[in-house]
């Protein structure tokens, strides 16, 4: 495969879980951007935000994405804010099919509420805040996506199958 499949979307839309499933189903390597950053920096995401701030995290995020995109044939699970920078989208589009996973604010809340590893939500862990931030980012996610997959009430395996089918159709139509 001469391209990467990049999963994007708000925190808690299932990018990490689905990318693991997709990588098994397609027999491709999976790269989790957040995990890549943690290994690169030898620090947890919350510690990077706390010690150096979001701007520094975004800089590292771009550097890591650039590295990840150099090699094709992988499934890449992107951090929820990775699409916010034009430069990042440019790297993603270069040999990448961008798949947007969506979920309602309530579903996202249920999936993330017990975690404390998302600095963007720390101190704002409620449906209202999630909905507000999601609405702010929504048009950006839709604008950059090649495919949109709703995840509410679906099992990871079903989502993975849906992605494979939709990418097949996309390839046939191009």
Give contact residues for ligand S3P (rule: CB under 6 A).
11, 15, 34, 45, 79-81, 118-120
In the complex, the smallest distance separating the C-beta of residue 173 from ligand S3P, rounded to whole angstroms, is: 29
Q: Among residues 46 and 169, whose Cβ is nearest to ligand S3P?
A: 46
SS (H, E, C) the chain: CCCEEEEECCCCCCHHHHHHHHHHHHCCEEEEHHHHHHHHHCCCHHHHHHHHCHHHHHHHHHHHHHHHCCCCCEEEECCCCHHHCHHHHHHHHCCEEEEEEECCHHHHHHHHCCCCCCCCCCCCCCHHHHHHHHHHHHHHHHHHCCEEEECCCCCHHHHHHHHHHHHHHHHHHC
**How many whole angstroms separate alpha carbon 74 and alpha carbon 169?**
19
Q: Give 106 or 169: the residue with its C-beta nearer to ligand S3P.
A: 106
Our CB check for ligand S3P shows the closer of 91 and 170 to be 91
> Least distance (Å) from ligand S3P to the CB of residue 167?
21
Instruction: Tell me how far the alpha carbon of residue 81 is from its chain's centroid.
Output: 8
């Amino acid at each position: 495969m001469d391209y990467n499949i990049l999963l994007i979307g708000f925190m808690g839309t299932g990018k990490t879980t689905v990318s693991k499933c997709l990588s098994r189903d397609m027999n491709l390597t999976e790269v989790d951007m957040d995990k890549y950053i943690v290994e690169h920096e030898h620090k947890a995401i919350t510690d990077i935000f706390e010690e150096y701030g979001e701007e520094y995290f975004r800089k590292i995020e771009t550097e890591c994405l650039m590295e990840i995109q150099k090699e094709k044939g992988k499934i890449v699970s992107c951090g929820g804010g990775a699409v916010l920078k034009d430069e990042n989208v440019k790297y993603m589009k270069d040999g990448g099919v961008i798949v947007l996973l969506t979920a309602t604010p309530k579903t996202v809340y249920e999936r993330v509420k017990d975690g404390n590893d998302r600095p963007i939500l720390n101190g704002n862990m409620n449906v209202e805040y999630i909905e507000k931030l999601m609405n702010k980012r929504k048009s950006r996610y839709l604008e950059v996506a090649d495919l949109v997959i709703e995840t509410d009430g679906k099992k990871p395996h079903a989502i993975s199958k849906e992605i494979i089918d939709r990418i097949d159709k996309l390839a046939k139509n191009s």
